[in-house]
A and B are shown apart, each in its own frame.
Chain A
Amino acid sequence: MSITEVSFQASQISDAPVTAIQGRSQWQLTWRRLRSDRVAVASVVVIILMILFAICAPLIALATGHPVDTAYTATGENAFGNPVGPGVHGFILGTDEIGRDLLVRIAYGARISLFVGLLTTAIATVAGVTLGLVAGYFGGVVDAILARFFDAALAFPYIVLALALASVFHPSLTIVIGVIAFFSWAGISRIVRGQTLSLKEKEYIEAAKSLGAGPWRIMFIDILPNLLGPVLVLATLYIPTAVTFEATLSFLGIGIPEPAPSWGNILSEAQAFYHVAWWYVVFPSLALLITTLAFNLLGDGIRDAIDPRTERIFAGSKAARQRRKRGRRGNGGHGLDDAILVGEQADLTDDQPYPAGGVPGLEG
């Protein structure tokens, strides 16, 4: 149903927008709520800008005339051999300890951070959803074995394994991606498994079975679409965790090896210069903070948009304000459409365990 039809109907039945709103699908409702969430929209804009910044890294190198690995010992260092500050000799954000352009290096670092963040999240989501569905749907021995694996992967001190791997093999992009993906799927699996356990008892699954649908069809065609909400929220919240994880590994010298710039290894070198070159620490930190904050805010926004119950807790003041406004317009004053929205989705929201404490297992 299009927006014009909706407003047409709404103007027809002036005091009751109820029928018009009931006509929308779950995802349309979510999309509408997300679009009206200013913070979420702003985070999307920031994320798109950051992606553009990463894609345009070679262009930035071209525009400044400073290739990423070129050390400008004459102009990029002061008389003491220390980095020069922002704006000096055409280095917009200053230079690092051997006179390389910090802006260009941060831009190239964005490529690695975002690439690692998005790729590991994709791997972890596919693996986590598949294993969670299998464990939840088949149950029994399969579930018992897989559930032990989820617990083990969640309980294991992941940074310790990363350390062990790094000391045996040489640190590389592949190892970083492997380690992060390996420690991310279990949290998703556990939630998908729990959801599948309750969804597989519903009548429509019984109906599908009686029509002769096989287990894989039921898992991926009938159950999976009902899980997309929580999975989408979790995946969005995993991206900043993975970005932080990569930066931490690189900071400790067991992530992306030099001279390839990553936000983590830039900050690792900047550590020794905090008393002479604040920009060397502050700008990469800001890039990292802005990125993770934007993804976290977007994840929260999507969660609030999908699940009106959390919306009423977290953005309660906004709903109350709207209710008051409607009340003043003399529209019944009870926030009628809010109530309908909640009622419509109550069935789903009751057993959607959105992680209250952020992404399980990957903090730190």
Chain B
Amino acid sequence: MNMLRFLIRRILTGILVLWLVATGTFFLFFTAIPVQSVARNLAGRAASPAVLQETIRYYGLNDPILVQYWHFLDKLLHGNLGVSFYSQENVTTIIHQDLPPTISVVIGGVLLWLIVGLAVGILSATRARSFFDRIATVGVLAGVSAPTFVVGELLIIFVFVQLQDHGISFITTGYNPITAGFVPWLGCMILPWITLAIVQAAVYTRLSRGSLLDTLGEDFIRTARSKGLTERRVLFRHAVRSAMTPVVSQLGIDVGGLLGGVIVVEQVFGLHGLGFQVVSAISQGDQPTVIGFVIIASVFVVVANIVVDMSYALLDPRVRIS
């Protein structure tokens, strides 16, 4: 019951945040860009003044801002994100087309970095101060320091180009849809995943190592050991589970930053996904597409945060009570 009330409250806050983002974006774009330049974007560079006037009238660009805001919200609630200035296509269609590469990068990347980060973190916590631990600490610092696009470009030079030069063409750049076959898809995804994993796994290694070391020193671990449980069971059933709370909360924070990382990865590896689209939309002055991306990105963040809050409760019984 408590849990349900918590969930409802979180969803309501999420909707509030989305409304704030949509409103903020609307006023940012609609007050900062002059009507004339919007009309010119819609009607084309060579449009005559009469055509411009007609465009302004047709789209209601001179209506009071609150009326336009009402239309914007009304369309938004019906899932209509408007029409691209550049290609005259529906923004919803564009986003729909560009989603598969982005989803592939995100899911594979998150899985790889969680697996690598947690495995290294757990290993170095249980073997604290060993040689492995020392190496891991150095690797973590390098990973934390490295910007995503630097890792990506270095991987291209030292892995992709080298393999191509030696006639191995398994790894490709650009995007091959999974419908074209699993192996080509894997070949174009493996370097983006590794890039995200190198940059992000470091944080999770550090976090899970520290948290697990703290947990292993707690009384309930001693209790579990003195009950005669095997070390493996103590570690995975008791310690790791309780040490995961900071990892989960970091994951919630990173989902926000992840979209930034994905934009960079798509740019480096020439994947035509959402991030690639939004960067070109900016250089083309295609504001509806940018607004659409901002709103979709915020939905993503809000949903991820709710999922994270829910999984706290599943991991740590103490959260459920309060």
Contacts and interface: CB of A to CB of B under 8 A. Distances in A.
A356 B207 contact: yes
A281 B253 CA distance: 31
Given A155-B253, A155-B305, A166-B282, 12 more contacts: A154-B256, A155-B301, A160-B259, A164-B290, A247-B149, A252-B267, A254-B279, A254-B282, A282-B157, A357-B206, A362-B257, A364-B254
Contact of A285 (B28, B153, B161, B254): B153
Given A156-B256, A267-B149, A275 B161 contact: yes
Given A275-B161, A363-B254, A297 B279 contact: no
Given A163-B282, A252-B264, A157 B301 contact: yes
A285 B145 CA distance: 12
A160 B128 CA distance: 39
A274 B256 contact: no
Interface in A152-201: 152, 154-161, 163-169
A307 interface: no
B278 interface: yes
Interface string A267-311: 100110011001001100100110011001100100000000000
Contacts of B147: 244, 247-248, 251, 288, 292
B32 interface: yes
A166 B285 CA distance: 10
A316 interface: yes
Given A252-B279, A288-B150, A293-B145, A357 B267 contact: no
Contacts of A313: 128, 210, 213
A247 B260 CA distance: 13
Contacts of A157: 256-257, 259-260, 297-298, 301
A240 interface: yes
B39 interface: no
A160 B298 contact: yes
B141 A293 contact: yes
Interface in B221-267: 246, 250, 253-254, 256-261, 263-264, 267
Interface in A317-359: 317, 320, 356-358
A163 B264 CA distance: 12
A274 B161 contact: yes
Contacts of A358: 144, 203, 206
Nearest to A362: B257
Contacts of B291: 164
A158 B279 contact: no
Given A154-B253, A157-B257, A289-B150, A163 B32 contact: no
Contacts of B29: 164, 168
Nearest to B301: A157
A292 B145 contact: yes
A281 B157 contact: yes
* Among B150, B154, B200, B256: residue with most chain A CB under 10 A: B150
B279 A292 contact: no
B130 to A, nearest CB: 9
Contacts of B32: 168-169
Nearest to A157: B256
Interface in A246-260: 247-248, 251-254
B215 interface: no
A42 to B, nearest CB: 13
A248 B283 contact: no
Contacts of B256: 154-158, 361
A314 interface: yes
A68 to B, nearest CB: 22
Contacts of B150: 247, 267, 285, 288-289
A73 to B, nearest CB: 26
Nearest to B289: A167
Given A282-B157, A300-B141, A248 B148 contact: yes
A307 to B, nearest CB: 13
A361 B253 contact: yes
Contacts of B267: 251-252
Given A363-B200, A364-B260, A281 B154 contact: yes
A288 B148 CA distance: 12
Smallest CB-CB A-B distances: 5 pairs: A159-B260, A364-B257, A292-B145, A357-B207, A364-B261
A253 B206 contact: no
Contact of B28 (A164, A282, A297): A164
B319 interface: no
A271 B268 contact: yes
Contacts of A320: 129
Contact of A248 (B134, B260, B294): B260
27 contacts: A154-B253, A155-B301, A157-B260, A157-B297, A158-B256, A159-B259, A160-B259, A160-B298, A163-B263, A163-B282, A164-B294, A167-B287, A168-B33, A252-B279, A285-B150, A288-B150, A313-B213, A317-B129, A356-B246, A357-B207, A358-B144, A358-B206, A361-B257, A363-B203, A363-B254, A364-B148, A364-B258
A360 interface: yes
Contacts of A161: 294
